[in-house]
Amino acid sequence: MHHPTTKTNRFRFTKKDIEALPTRERQYQVADTEIRGLFLMVNPGGAKTFCRYGRLNGKPRRIRIGPFPEISVSRARQKCAAINGNLAEGNAPKAPSRGGLTFGEMWVQYWDEHALIKKVESSRKHDLWQWKKLLQPAWELRKASDIKKSDVLELQGRVAKVNGKVTANRCLSLVKKVFNHAIEAERLELNPAARVKKYSERSRERFLQGDELPRFFKSLEEFDNRDVADYVRMALFTGARQTNVLSMRWEDIDFSTAVWTIPKTKSGASLRLPLVGPAMEILERRRNRSKYVFASHGKTGYMTRPGKAWERLLENAEIEKLTMHDLRRSLGSYQAAAGVSELVIGKTLGHAAGSRATSVYARLNLDPVRNAVELATDAMLAAAESEGK
């Protein structure tokens, strides 16, 4: 058996070996030694896609099978064998014509050409869940050109009834994106979802209240899992998203300026955040040779979201109906209470700025953001101390 990194780029595919394939600056392919024509494409972003590759009528042609790991090795072999059989009988699969493009084919193009390249992992997972649970059962085989506004409205209403209005709105957004991607690639002309309006949503307003802060910090101080306690504090003191805090790397922290650079946020852009005193204290205490601040022995190399531990933490603090995401809202709320402008609050939480010029200014000068975070942090700690006496 050849190892995946050998010069031949041929080996017997296994899940473990495919997962171990490295990314390179350019796309490359490896071949399976068990089924003729079965290849795996590896792009610079790390996405891996099975395909059948070989000559057809004297010309090289690649036939897409599906993404790994959504398509397993055994399933990829089955599909490749079926394609080989069809080719042997003279039945070559035809590329879909523009007029005959199905929604399923359009989804695959969106996934390969946009989601895998431009979206962060958490966002891709949410897209994939919506596809498998909501869109694939309804529209996979339907011609995209046959889907009308009435079909979109019917799907929106059905999802709202079963999964709720928020999920229906997210599903509608994804449908619009899939159609728009096809339109931008000149595969389609009209987006039937373009003029479909979202349901109104009531914004969640939960954040840590003044009387909850003493119990919250006391619970953190006494919590038996110090890693979780530090992670929760860091999330509160930075206002960063859970995924960003969990995957925080030492190489992205500048101790001399107390600035944390998040390489890629939910929007796909990088973000620089100031680290206030309490956050720096956590980092100084945790400094080690690991790659991640919250390192673990799991697959990613860093901690996973502390579901059960978070519930225990809240139970010990006698606090109800608070989510980890509410910690972001808590920092923003205490900034607002201190008179901080919406622009600076938005910059603190990594929201998209209102204009390009403002965005450039915000990147160059972090002082207002640092002052705002310090105001909010001091207010929360002061409230915790005064109420706790």
Report residue 360's pLDDT band, with 50, 70 and 90 as the boundaries: very low
234, 220 Cβ separation under 8 angstroms: no
Taking every pair of Cα atoms in the chain, the longest distance, rounded to a whole number of angstroms, is 83
373 domain-assigned? yes
What does the pLDDT read at residue 224?
Answer: 93
Percent of the chain with pLDDT over 90: 33
Instruction: State whether 41 and 176 are in the same domain.
Output: no
CATH of the domain at 74: 3.30.160.390
What does the pLDDT read at residue 175?
Answer: 96
Report residue 27's pLDDT band, with 50, 70 and 90 as the boundaries: confident
What would the two tokens of residue 238 be?
Answer: 């930075």
192 domain-assigned? no
CATH of the domain at 357: 1.10.443.10
The tens digit of pLDDT for each residue in 197-243 reads 998 876 566 777 777 888 888 999 999 999 999 999 998 888 888 88
What does the pLDDT read at residue 361?
Answer: 31
Predicted confidence (pLDDT) at residue 387 exceeds the cutoff of 60:
no
Residue position matching structure tokens 């799907």: 155
Percent of the chain with pLDDT over 70: 82
Report residue 359's pLDDT band, with 50, 70 and 90 as the boundaries: very low
242 domain-assigned? yes
Predicted confidence (pLDDT) at residue 356 exceeds the cutoff of 50:
no
- What's the Cα-to-Cα distance from 151 to each of 169, 175, 180, 184, 188, rounded to whole Å? 15, 11, 17, 22, 17
The tens digit of pLDDT for each residue in 271-283 reads 888 888 888 999 9
State the average pLDDT over residues 12-21. Answer: 93
State the average pLDDT over residues 29-49. Answer: 87
148 domain-assigned? yes
Instruction: State whether 273 and 363 are in the same domain.
Output: yes
Structural domain tally of the chain? 3
The tens digit of pLDDT for each residue in 77-86 reads 998 998 888 8
Instruction: State whether 138 and 172 are in the same domain.
Output: yes
Phi, psi of 66 (to 5 degrees): 155, 165
3-state secondary structure of 28: strand
Instruction: State whether 307 and 219 are in the same domain.
Output: yes
In the listed set 28, 53, 88, which residue is the last one of a domain according to the structure? 88
194 domain-assigned? no
| pLDDT-wise least confident of 66-70, 104-108, 109-113, 368-372 | 368-372
Which of the listed ranges 34-48, 57-71, 369-383 does the model predict with the highest average pLDDT?
Answer: 34-48
Instruction: State whether 178 and 260 are in the same domain.
Output: no
Instruction: State whether 176 and 311 are in the same domain.
Output: no
Report residue 367's pLDDT band, with 50, 70 and 90 as the boundaries: low
Dihedral sign from CA coordinates of 190, 192, 197, 198: negative
Instruction: State whether 256 and 364 are in the same domain.
Output: yes
What does the pLDDT read at residue 4?
Answer: 43
Instruction: State whether 355 and 287 are in the same domain.
Output: yes
Instruction: State whether 60 and 179 are in the same domain.
Output: no
* Residue span of the structural domain in which 131 resides: 103-184
- What's the Cα-to-Cα distance from 104 to each of 88, 133, 140, 268, 370, rounded to whole Å? 26, 13, 4, 25, 47
Report residue 295's pLDDT band, with 50, 70 and 90 as the boundaries: very high
Report residue 338's pLDDT band, with 50, 70 and 90 as the boundaries: low
In the listed set 21, 55, 88, which residue is the last one of a domain according to the structure? 88
95 domain-assigned? no
3-state secondary structure of 314: helix
Report residue 180's pLDDT band, with 50, 70 and 90 as the boundaries: very high
Average per-residue pLDDT for the chain:
81
Parallel/antiparallel/unpaired status of strands 38-42 and 48-56: antiparallel
Report residue 2's pLDDT band, with 50, 70 and 90 as the boundaries: very low
In the listed set 184, 205, 239, which residue is the last one of a domain according to the structure? 184
235 domain-assigned? yes
Instruction: State whether 231 and 337 are in the same domain.
Output: yes
17, 3 Cβ separation under 8 angstroms: yes
Instruction: State whether 229 and 158 are in the same domain.
Output: no
196 domain-assigned? no
Instruction: State whether 334 and 304 are in the same domain.
Output: yes
Which of the listed ranges 54-63, 158-167, 259-268, 330-339 does the model predict with the highest average pLDDT?
Answer: 158-167
User: Angle CA(202)–CA(207)–CA(213) in degrees, nearest 5?
Assistant: 165
Predicted confidence (pLDDT) at residue 62 exceeds the cutoff of 60:
yes
- Cα–Cα dist 236/208, whole Å: 10
The tens digit of pLDDT for each residue in 87-128 reads 887 776 655 444 478 898 899 889 888 888 877 777 788 899
